[in-house]
């Protein structure tokens, strides 16, 4: 499974198409994988000062989406059909990485595993598995 778009191309696509993805950047792409980075600041926190659930959900969801687009191209209109997320540890603000690994890239469905960590620290803070429906190509 070889990516057909670079991290730079995916990031340009993300910034252009999803202006709400402020703070999220595509950090890297590799065969079957992509890493999305979130600089978690004030607007991503919840009371108590840890990163909010919706911000972690968005990091996992968009990381999976970017991993899929990296391998099928930006024309595809893939949509999330299912996402399961486990919140394991309360994440302090800072640089969070969502590492998305493709478990299956079929004609109709893609399933992606996402581990969220602080950049440079292997401890998994949250873990998600997402299913995307892929339109006929």
Residues lying near a copy of itself in the complex (CB under 8 A) are found at: 17-18, 20, 43, 46-47, 52-55, 57-58, 61, 79-90, 103-104, 108-109, 111, 113, 124, 127, 129, 131, 133
CB of 109 to a copy of itself, least distance (A): 6
Closer residue to a copy of itself in complex, CB, 72/83: 83
- Minimum gap (Å) between residue 16 Cβ and a copy of itself: 10
Start-to-end CA distance of the chain, whole Å, equals 17
CB under 8 Å to 58, separation ≥6 — which residues? Answer: 21, 24
Instruction: Give min distance, CB of 73 to a copy of itself, in A.
Output: 17
- Provide CB contacts within 8 A for 94, sequence distance 6+: 39, 40, 118, 119
User: In the beta sheet, which residues pair with residue 40?
Assistant: 94
Which one, 47 or 120, has the nearer CB to a copy of itself?
47
Paired with 53 in beta bridges are: none
CA dihedral 45, 16, 61, 23 (to 10 degrees): -20
Closer Cβ to a copy of itself, 70 or 85, answer by number: 85
Written as six digits, the tokens of 30 are: 């590799």
Nearer Cβ to a copy of itself (76/87) = 87
């Amino acid at each position: 499974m070889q990516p057909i778009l670079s991290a730079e191309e995916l990031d340009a696509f993300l910034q252009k198409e999803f202006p709400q993805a402020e703070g999220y950047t595509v950090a890297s792409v590799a065969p079957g994988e992509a890493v999305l980075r979130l600089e978690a600041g004030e607007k991503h926190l919840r009371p108590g000062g840890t990163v909010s659930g919706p911000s972690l959900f968005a990091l996992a969801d968009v990381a999976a989406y970017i991993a899929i687009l990296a391998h099928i191209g930006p024309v595809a209109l893939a949509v999330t059909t299912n996402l399961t997320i486990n919140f394991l540890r309360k994440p302090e603000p800072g640089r969070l990485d969502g590492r998305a690994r493709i478990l299956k890239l079929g004609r109709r469905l893609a399933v992606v595993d996402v581990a969220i960590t602080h950049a440079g620290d292997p401890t998994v803070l949250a873990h998600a598995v997402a299913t995307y429906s892929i339109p006929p190509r």
